[in-house]
């Protein structure tokens, strides 16, 4: 692969043989069924990428490492922004609600979480109480005012919507950036730290 996978990308090609010997049975079954794994934020050895294996139950999540050479297919969250499915669920209604609004913003956005997983793979992951998880590529700063406007739009949807802003230095939660907090939590592969400006994390309070 030319480009290294990014957090929230879905990858195909990992097999049960790539799991550790003590991996839970549900993880083995998930990979044996051909399910993708999701890229997570963590450091990995050269030639490997940190991933998460997803099970049926919410608590069934396993951190693992996948050989980059084993990747046979990769789907990014933004590739799913206009994918639909016929399941009559609040999370899908919410996606249809916000899709035109986000398209009109001109930013690159995508679908992650259970909705992204099911839309990309066809494996059932969404349910009646699912949240809609979104990502927004933000190479340039989004003001707190813009963030609050987005939150207000999302709060009119039929289910909870959570969005991560993907800055060049890591990810920050939209709702946290929209809040009045002086510092917000910025997460990347190296650490999670409280910063004043997620687009300029070196800037710290005196």
Active site residues: 131, 133
Closest C-alpha among 79, 49, 85 to residue 67: 49
How many Å apart are CA 46 and CA 53, to the nearest integer? Answer: 20
Closest C-alpha among 86, 96, 87 to residue 161: 96
How many Å apart are CA 169 and CA 171, to the nearest integer? Answer: 7
How many Å apart are CA 151 and CA 200, to the nearest integer? Answer: 23
| Three-state secondary structure call for residue 189 | coil
Closest C-alpha among 100, 105, 183 to residue 138: 105
């Amino acid at each position: 692969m030319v480009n290294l996978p990014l957090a929230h990308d879905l990858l195909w090609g990992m097999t049960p043989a790539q799991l550790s010997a003590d991996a839970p049975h549900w993880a083995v079954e998930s990979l044996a069924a051909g399910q993708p794994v999701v890229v997570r934020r963590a450091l990995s050895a050269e030639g490997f990428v940190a991933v998460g294996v997803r099970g049926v139950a919410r608590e069934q999540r396993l951190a693992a490492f996948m050989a980059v050479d084993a990747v046979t297919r990769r789907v990014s969250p933004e590739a799913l922004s206009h994918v639909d499915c016929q399941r009559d669920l609040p999370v899908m209604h919410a996606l249809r609600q916000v899709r035109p609004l986000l398209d009109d913003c001109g930013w690159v956005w995508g679908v992650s979480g259970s909705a992204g997983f099911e839309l990309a793979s066809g494996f059932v992951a969404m349910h009646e109480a699912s949240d809609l998880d979104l990502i927004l590529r933000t190479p340039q700063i989004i003001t707190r005012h813009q963030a609050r406007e987005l939150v207000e739009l999302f709060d009119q949807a039929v289910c909870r919507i959570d969005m991560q802003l993907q800055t060049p230095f890591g990810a920050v939660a939209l709702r946290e950036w929209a809040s009045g907090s002086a510092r917000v939590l910025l997460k990347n592969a190296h650490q999670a730290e409280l910063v004043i400006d997620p687009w300029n994390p070196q800037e710290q309070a005196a």
